Amino acid sequence: MWQETAKSNFSAELSTDSNWQELTDGQEISLISQLQTTLDIQQQLDIFAMHVSRVLPMTAVQLQTAQGQFQAAGSKAGHHDYQSELVLEHQLLGQLKYQSNFSFSALIQRQLLLLESEWLYALRNALLVNRLQQMALKDPLTTLGNRRFFDDSFAKAIQLAKRHQQPFALLLLDLDNFKQVNDLAGHSTGDQVLLAVADCMRETLRATDSLFRFGGDEFAVLLQDQDAEHAELIAARLQQHISKHPLLKLHQVGCSIGLAWLGPEQQARDLFHLADEALYQAKTSGKGKVGGGTISFAGIPRPARPLKAPLASLAAAN
Protein backbone atom coordinates (compact mmCIF):
# COMPACT_ATOMS: atom_id res chain seq x y z
CA MET A 1 0.00 0.00 0.00
CA TRP A 2 1.03 3.57 -0.48
CA GLN A 3 1.53 4.10 3.26
CA GLU A 4 4.19 1.40 3.26
CA THR A 5 6.22 3.29 0.66
CA ALA A 6 6.49 6.39 2.83
CA LYS A 7 9.95 7.26 4.12
CA SER A 8 9.73 7.02 7.89
CA ASN A 9 12.45 9.60 8.44
CA PHE A 10 10.80 12.11 6.15
CA SER A 11 8.10 13.76 8.26
CA ALA A 12 7.75 16.74 10.57
CA GLU A 13 11.43 16.78 11.42
CA LEU A 14 12.07 18.52 8.08
CA SER A 15 13.05 21.88 9.48
CA THR A 16 14.43 23.97 6.66
CA ASP A 17 12.95 25.13 3.39
CA SER A 18 16.26 24.44 1.65
CA ASN A 19 16.23 20.74 2.60
CA TRP A 20 12.65 20.37 1.40
CA GLN A 21 13.34 22.30 -1.80
CA GLU A 22 15.97 19.76 -2.80
CA LEU A 23 13.43 17.00 -2.36
CA THR A 24 10.70 18.81 -4.26
CA ASP A 25 12.94 19.54 -7.23
CA GLY A 26 13.64 15.82 -7.50
CA GLN A 27 9.99 14.80 -7.08
CA GLU A 28 8.27 17.40 -9.19
CA ILE A 29 9.04 15.92 -12.60
CA SER A 30 8.27 12.42 -11.37
CA LEU A 31 4.88 13.43 -9.98
CA ILE A 32 3.82 15.35 -13.09
CA SER A 33 4.98 12.63 -15.44
CA GLN A 34 3.18 9.93 -13.48
CA LEU A 35 -0.05 11.91 -13.30
CA GLN A 36 0.04 12.42 -17.06
CA THR A 37 -0.05 8.65 -17.63
CA THR A 38 -3.72 8.33 -16.65
CA LEU A 39 -7.02 10.16 -16.80
CA ASP A 40 -8.55 7.95 -14.12
CA ILE A 41 -9.29 9.96 -10.97
CA GLN A 42 -8.71 7.06 -8.59
CA GLN A 43 -5.35 6.23 -10.17
CA GLN A 44 -4.27 9.87 -10.02
CA LEU A 45 -5.22 10.03 -6.34
CA ASP A 46 -3.19 6.91 -5.56
CA ILE A 47 -0.16 8.37 -7.37
CA PHE A 48 -0.55 11.67 -5.56
CA ALA A 49 -0.92 9.90 -2.20
CA MET A 50 2.37 8.06 -2.69
CA HIS A 51 4.21 11.34 -3.26
CA VAL A 52 2.45 13.00 -0.34
CA SER A 53 3.59 10.18 1.93
CA ARG A 54 7.19 11.16 1.24
CA VAL A 55 6.43 14.52 2.83
CA LEU A 56 4.54 13.12 5.82
CA PRO A 57 3.47 9.50 6.45
CA MET A 58 -0.28 9.46 5.83
CA THR A 59 -2.96 7.05 6.99
CA ALA A 60 -5.56 8.41 4.55
CA VAL A 61 -5.97 10.77 1.62
CA GLN A 62 -9.52 11.51 0.46
CA LEU A 63 -10.76 13.58 -2.47
CA GLN A 64 -14.26 15.02 -2.60
CA THR A 65 -15.49 16.29 -5.99
CA ALA A 66 -18.81 17.12 -7.58
CA GLN A 67 -18.56 13.74 -9.30
CA GLY A 68 -18.15 11.76 -6.10
CA GLN A 69 -15.77 10.93 -3.30
CA PHE A 70 -12.53 9.00 -3.77
CA GLN A 71 -10.01 7.73 -1.26
CA ALA A 72 -6.51 6.41 -1.71
CA ALA A 73 -6.09 2.66 -1.47
CA GLY A 74 -5.63 1.44 2.08
CA SER A 75 -6.89 4.64 3.72
CA LYS A 76 -7.74 4.46 7.41
CA ALA A 77 -8.31 6.92 10.24
CA GLY A 78 -5.39 8.86 11.73
CA HIS A 79 -4.89 11.01 14.82
CA HIS A 80 -4.51 14.29 12.92
CA ASP A 81 -6.29 15.66 9.87
CA TYR A 82 -5.85 18.54 7.49
CA GLN A 83 -8.09 19.80 4.68
CA SER A 84 -7.28 21.73 1.55
CA GLU A 85 -9.18 23.04 -1.47
CA LEU A 86 -7.99 22.41 -5.02
CA VAL A 87 -8.67 25.56 -7.04
CA LEU A 88 -7.57 26.20 -10.61
CA GLU A 89 -8.36 29.46 -12.41
CA HIS A 90 -11.06 30.33 -9.84
CA GLN A 91 -12.68 26.91 -10.32
CA LEU A 92 -13.03 24.60 -7.32
CA LEU A 93 -12.00 21.14 -8.51
CA GLY A 94 -12.38 19.40 -5.19
CA GLN A 95 -11.42 19.18 -1.56
CA LEU A 96 -8.64 17.05 -0.11
CA LYS A 97 -8.64 15.61 3.38
CA TYR A 98 -5.41 14.19 4.77
CA GLN A 99 -5.11 12.04 7.86
CA SER A 100 -1.88 11.15 9.63
CA ASN A 101 -0.56 10.06 13.00
CA PHE A 102 1.82 13.04 12.78
CA SER A 103 0.78 16.67 13.14
CA PHE A 104 0.52 18.97 10.14
CA SER A 105 3.00 21.76 10.78
CA ALA A 106 3.02 25.00 8.80
CA LEU A 107 5.99 23.69 6.81
CA ILE A 108 4.21 20.45 5.98
CA GLN A 109 1.14 22.40 4.85
CA ARG A 110 3.30 24.46 2.47
CA GLN A 111 4.83 21.29 1.09
CA LEU A 112 1.41 19.78 0.49
CA LEU A 113 0.23 22.97 -1.19
CA LEU A 114 3.08 22.88 -3.70
CA LEU A 115 2.48 19.19 -4.46
CA GLU A 116 -1.22 19.93 -4.94
CA SER A 117 -0.35 22.67 -7.45
CA GLU A 118 1.36 20.02 -9.59
CA TRP A 119 -1.84 17.97 -9.68
CA LEU A 120 -4.33 20.67 -10.68
CA TYR A 121 -4.16 20.45 -14.49
CA ALA A 122 -4.06 16.67 -14.57
CA LEU A 123 -7.01 16.51 -12.16
CA ARG A 124 -9.04 18.99 -14.19
CA ASN A 125 -8.51 16.86 -17.30
CA ALA A 126 -9.47 13.71 -15.42
CA LEU A 127 -12.64 15.32 -14.05
CA LEU A 128 -13.62 16.48 -17.54
CA VAL A 129 -13.15 13.01 -19.01
CA ASN A 130 -14.99 11.41 -16.10
CA ARG A 131 -17.89 13.83 -16.53
CA LEU A 132 -18.13 13.06 -20.24
CA GLN A 133 -18.06 9.33 -19.50
CA GLN A 134 -20.82 9.72 -16.94
CA MET A 135 -22.91 11.71 -19.39
CA ALA A 136 -22.49 8.96 -21.98
CA LEU A 137 -23.79 6.38 -19.50
CA LYS A 138 -26.59 8.36 -17.87
CA ASP A 139 -30.13 9.13 -18.92
CA PRO A 140 -30.11 12.94 -19.27
CA LEU A 141 -33.54 13.40 -17.66
CA THR A 142 -33.47 11.12 -14.62
CA THR A 143 -29.66 10.64 -14.34
CA LEU A 144 -30.29 6.91 -13.94
CA GLY A 145 -28.09 4.61 -15.98
CA ASN A 146 -29.01 4.39 -19.67
CA ARG A 147 -29.34 1.27 -21.83
CA ARG A 148 -25.65 1.28 -22.70
CA PHE A 149 -24.70 1.35 -19.02
CA PHE A 150 -27.29 -1.35 -18.29
CA ASP A 151 -25.87 -3.73 -20.89
CA ASP A 152 -22.38 -3.40 -19.45
CA SER A 153 -23.47 -3.60 -15.79
CA PHE A 154 -25.87 -6.48 -16.48
CA ALA A 155 -23.19 -8.65 -18.08
CA LYS A 156 -20.66 -7.93 -15.32
CA ALA A 157 -23.17 -8.55 -12.53
CA ILE A 158 -24.15 -11.94 -13.98
CA GLN A 159 -20.51 -12.98 -14.28
CA LEU A 160 -19.93 -11.99 -10.66
CA ALA A 161 -23.05 -13.81 -9.43
CA LYS A 162 -22.03 -17.01 -11.20
CA ARG A 163 -18.45 -16.82 -10.01
CA HIS A 164 -19.49 -16.50 -6.38
CA GLN A 165 -22.68 -18.59 -6.67
CA GLN A 166 -24.80 -15.73 -5.37
CA PRO A 167 -28.45 -15.05 -6.15
CA PHE A 168 -29.21 -12.44 -8.78
CA ALA A 169 -32.49 -11.02 -10.06
CA LEU A 170 -33.64 -8.62 -12.72
CA LEU A 171 -36.66 -6.31 -12.51
CA LEU A 172 -38.11 -4.71 -15.63
CA LEU A 173 -40.62 -1.90 -15.02
CA ASP A 174 -43.16 -0.43 -17.38
CA LEU A 175 -45.38 2.44 -16.26
CA ASP A 176 -49.14 2.01 -16.38
CA ASN A 177 -51.22 4.87 -17.86
CA PHE A 178 -48.18 6.96 -18.73
CA LYS A 179 -49.29 7.65 -22.30
CA GLN A 180 -52.40 9.42 -21.10
CA VAL A 181 -50.23 11.81 -19.06
CA ASN A 182 -48.40 12.98 -22.18
CA ASP A 183 -51.63 13.11 -24.18
CA LEU A 184 -53.68 15.00 -21.61
CA ALA A 185 -51.19 17.00 -19.56
CA GLY A 186 -48.29 17.43 -21.98
CA HIS A 187 -44.72 16.21 -22.16
CA SER A 188 -43.47 18.59 -19.48
CA THR A 189 -45.76 16.90 -16.97
CA GLY A 190 -44.68 13.56 -18.40
CA ASP A 191 -41.08 14.45 -17.61
CA GLN A 192 -42.06 15.30 -14.03
CA VAL A 193 -43.73 11.92 -13.74
CA LEU A 194 -40.59 10.15 -14.94
CA LEU A 195 -38.49 12.12 -12.46
CA ALA A 196 -40.89 11.12 -9.67
CA VAL A 197 -40.57 7.45 -10.63
CA ALA A 198 -36.78 7.73 -10.60
CA ASP A 199 -36.95 9.29 -7.11
CA CYS A 200 -39.17 6.44 -5.91
CA MET A 201 -36.65 3.93 -7.23
CA ARG A 202 -33.76 5.66 -5.44
CA GLU A 203 -35.71 5.84 -2.18
CA THR A 204 -36.77 2.19 -2.33
CA LEU A 205 -33.48 0.67 -3.48
CA ARG A 206 -30.15 1.36 -1.80
CA ALA A 207 -27.90 0.45 -4.75
CA THR A 208 -28.44 3.51 -6.92
CA ASP A 209 -25.86 2.34 -9.45
CA SER A 210 -28.15 -0.58 -10.29
CA LEU A 211 -31.05 1.56 -11.51
CA PHE A 212 -31.64 2.25 -15.18
CA ARG A 213 -34.01 3.94 -17.61
CA PHE A 214 -34.08 2.54 -21.13
CA GLY A 215 -36.05 5.45 -22.53
CA GLY A 216 -39.75 6.19 -22.66
CA ASP A 217 -41.39 4.72 -19.57
CA GLU A 218 -39.24 1.60 -19.28
CA PHE A 219 -36.92 1.05 -16.32
CA ALA A 220 -34.73 -1.76 -14.98
CA VAL A 221 -33.25 -2.79 -11.63
CA LEU A 222 -30.40 -5.21 -10.90
CA LEU A 223 -30.71 -7.04 -7.58
CA GLN A 224 -27.76 -8.92 -6.14
CA ASP A 225 -27.12 -11.18 -3.15
CA GLN A 226 -29.61 -10.50 -0.31
CA ASP A 227 -31.62 -8.04 -2.38
CA ALA A 228 -32.12 -10.76 -4.99
CA GLU A 229 -33.37 -13.15 -2.33
CA HIS A 230 -36.08 -10.64 -1.42
CA ALA A 231 -36.82 -9.53 -4.98
CA GLU A 232 -40.58 -10.07 -4.64
CA LEU A 233 -40.79 -7.90 -1.55
CA ILE A 234 -38.63 -5.20 -3.12
CA ALA A 235 -40.80 -5.19 -6.25
CA ALA A 236 -43.93 -4.87 -4.12
CA ARG A 237 -42.41 -2.03 -2.08
CA LEU A 238 -41.47 -0.24 -5.25
CA GLN A 239 -44.98 -0.57 -6.62
CA GLN A 240 -46.43 0.68 -3.36
CA HIS A 241 -44.07 3.65 -3.21
CA ILE A 242 -44.94 4.65 -6.76
CA SER A 243 -48.68 4.28 -6.16
CA LYS A 244 -48.51 6.55 -3.10
CA HIS A 245 -46.43 9.33 -4.65
CA PRO A 246 -48.68 12.45 -4.79
CA LEU A 247 -47.91 13.36 -8.41
CA LEU A 248 -48.16 9.79 -9.67
CA LYS A 249 -51.34 9.23 -7.69
CA LEU A 250 -52.81 12.43 -9.16
CA HIS A 251 -52.23 11.17 -12.70
CA GLN A 252 -53.13 7.55 -11.81
CA VAL A 253 -49.71 6.29 -12.84
CA GLY A 254 -48.60 2.93 -11.51
CA CYS A 255 -46.23 0.29 -12.78
CA SER A 256 -46.12 -3.33 -13.85
CA ILE A 257 -42.99 -5.33 -13.08
CA GLY A 258 -41.40 -8.36 -14.67
CA LEU A 259 -39.19 -10.36 -12.32
CA ALA A 260 -36.70 -13.13 -13.11
CA TRP A 261 -34.00 -14.91 -11.11
CA LEU A 262 -30.77 -16.09 -12.63
CA GLY A 263 -30.45 -19.84 -13.15
CA PRO A 264 -27.14 -21.77 -13.23
CA GLU A 265 -27.13 -22.29 -16.98
CA GLN A 266 -28.59 -18.96 -18.06
CA GLN A 267 -26.85 -16.23 -20.02
CA ALA A 268 -27.69 -12.54 -19.90
CA ARG A 269 -30.03 -12.74 -22.90
CA ASP A 270 -31.94 -15.66 -21.32
CA LEU A 271 -32.52 -13.82 -18.06
CA PHE A 272 -33.60 -10.65 -19.86
CA HIS A 273 -36.03 -12.66 -21.99
CA LEU A 274 -37.58 -14.23 -18.88
CA ALA A 275 -38.02 -10.87 -17.20
CA ASP A 276 -39.49 -9.41 -20.38
CA GLU A 277 -41.95 -12.28 -20.65
CA ALA A 278 -42.86 -11.83 -16.99
CA LEU A 279 -43.49 -8.14 -17.60
CA TYR A 280 -45.78 -9.01 -20.51
CA GLN A 281 -47.69 -11.40 -18.21
CA ALA A 282 -48.08 -8.68 -15.59
CA LYS A 283 -49.33 -6.12 -18.14
CA THR A 284 -51.81 -8.46 -19.79
CA SER A 285 -53.20 -9.73 -16.48
CA GLY A 286 -54.49 -6.34 -15.45
CA LYS A 287 -51.55 -3.98 -14.83
CA GLY A 288 -50.15 -3.04 -11.45
CA LYS A 289 -48.81 -6.53 -10.82
CA VAL A 290 -45.52 -8.37 -10.55
CA GLY A 291 -45.00 -11.24 -12.93
CA GLY A 292 -42.07 -13.59 -12.75
CA GLY A 293 -40.53 -16.96 -12.28
CA THR A 294 -37.40 -19.03 -12.70
CA ILE A 295 -35.05 -20.85 -10.30
CA SER A 296 -32.46 -19.30 -8.01
CA PHE A 297 -29.00 -20.70 -7.36
CA ALA A 298 -30.31 -22.27 -4.18
CA GLY A 299 -32.81 -24.21 -6.27
CA ILE A 300 -35.81 -22.50 -4.69
CA PRO A 301 -38.80 -22.63 -7.04
CA ARG A 302 -40.15 -19.22 -7.93
CA PRO A 303 -43.76 -18.59 -9.06
CA ALA A 304 -44.31 -18.31 -12.79
CA ARG A 305 -47.58 -16.43 -12.47
CA PRO A 306 -48.32 -12.75 -11.76
CA LEU A 307 -47.86 -12.12 -8.06
CA LYS A 308 -49.97 -9.95 -5.86
CA ALA A 309 -48.12 -7.63 -3.52
CA PRO A 310 -47.29 -9.51 -0.30
CA LEU A 311 -49.27 -7.16 1.90
CA ALA A 312 -48.58 -9.06 5.11
CA SER A 313 -44.85 -8.89 4.50
CA LEU A 314 -45.10 -5.24 3.60
CA ALA A 315 -46.99 -4.47 6.77
CA ALA A 316 -44.40 -6.28 8.84
CA ALA A 317 -41.56 -4.51 7.05
CA ASN A 318 -43.12 -1.09 7.47
Known catalytic residues are: 217
d(CA 238, CA 257): 9
- First and final C-alpha spacing in the chain: 44
- On whether the CB atoms of residues 282 and 249 are closer than 8 A, the answer is no
Three-class SS state of 102: coil
- On whether the CB atoms of residues 309 and 287 are closer than 8 A, the answer is no
Which positions ≥6 away from 124 have C-beta within 8 Å?
88, 91, 93
The three-state DSSP-derived secondary structure of 39-102 is: CCHHHHHHHHHHHHCCCCCCCEEEEEECCEEEECCCCCCCCEEEEEEEEECCEEEEEEEEEECC
Three-class SS state of 189: helix
d(CA 162, CA 156): 10
- On whether the CB atoms of residues 31 and 75 are closer than 8 A, the answer is no
